[in-house]
Amino acid sequence: MSNTNKRIPRVVILVAEGQPSPYNLAAIRSSADVVLTDAAGLAEASRGADILFLWDFFSSALKEAWPNADSLQWVHVAAAGVDAMMFDELRRSDVVVTNAHGTFDRPIAEFVLASILAHDKQLHLSKALQQQAVWRHRELTRTEGSHALVVGTGGIGRATARLLRAVGLEVQGIGRTPRGDDPDFGAIHASSELAENAAWADHVVLIAPLTEQTRNMVNTDVLAAMKPTAHLVNVGRGALVDEEALIKALQERQIAAASLDVFTEEPVPADHPFWKMDNVHMSAHMCGDVLGWRDALADQFLANLQRRSSGQELANVVDKERGYVRTV
């Protein structure tokens, strides 16, 4: 995107109540006229704004503010997923959307590996037995040679595939475009063939972006096709899974276990069945949030702002119809 307008751009930064501002706010101010606002003030702040930085990356406030966003050219989301803020008018517009593509690749890959190892080595059960002062010897599962089906073949999926392969798992992918000679996955199968390929996997790992095509992609049919010893890992979005079908499959031991970092409702309600299920391992939507992650996100926006100011193309441009950054 070339920038023929040499005036200092007006940047609106959406910050949630209680959320700290980007640590490099002074550096951002040196390149732009900056306005900080919360969701309630976004409509007014959007008038005349060139750029919107969604530091509050789960906010959907832009949809309501959209009629006032009369000069908006670029929206940056400080997250890998853009489903929370996307709506039809934005998709149809000329406004460029960028995201935090790349920032979370390795941290999430490490979390997936940790989830698989914790399952295979029964670490959750060991902790529970420790708390009960119970000494119980068991035999564990060898992780090397087991099969992982990674659903989602973008940057995070590829980082995950490479890490799992490095420790000896056999990996295949599920993605939009099937191919048989992928350098990271070996074979990539079409998303429509998830159920047919789920039976191969010891671990089904969900990393796909949430779109209308991927919503509830893990449904009754997919769960029924999985091995009774299979382990589901979800680090993508909660709505990738038909949650009621998953609860039933876990209660009836159609699959062995699920490690879930994301849920259809967050925080998970206190009366949700997941809390008391011994074959569900929960974390609070934190799989990519390693120490320093907020600073990395702030640096990423500043770097892109500087690219724009120098007339370069923006990095990490999202395909608004597909909902993610297209990679080669």
Q: How far apart are the first and last CA of the chain?
A: 20
Pick the catalytic residue: 266, 313, 322, 326?
266
285 part of the active site:
yes
- Contacts of 44-51 spanning 24+ positions with Cβ under 8 A: 44/68, 45/12, 46/12, 46/70, 46/72, 47/71, 48/10, 49/10, 49/11, 49/12, 50/9, 50/10, 50/11, 50/74, 51/9, 51/10, 51/11, 51/12, 51/75, 51/76, 51/305, 51/308
307: left (phi over 0), alpha (psi -120 to 50) or beta: alpha
Pick the catalytic residue: 101, 176, 203, 285?
285
Residue 308 contacts residue 9 (beta carbons within 8 Å) = yes
Rg of the chain in Å (alpha carbons) = 21
231 part of the active site:
no
CA dist list (Å): 116 to 111, 259, 262, 298, 320 = 9, 8, 16, 31, 32
Pick the catalytic residue: 176, 237, 281, 308?
237
Catalytic residues: 237, 266, 285
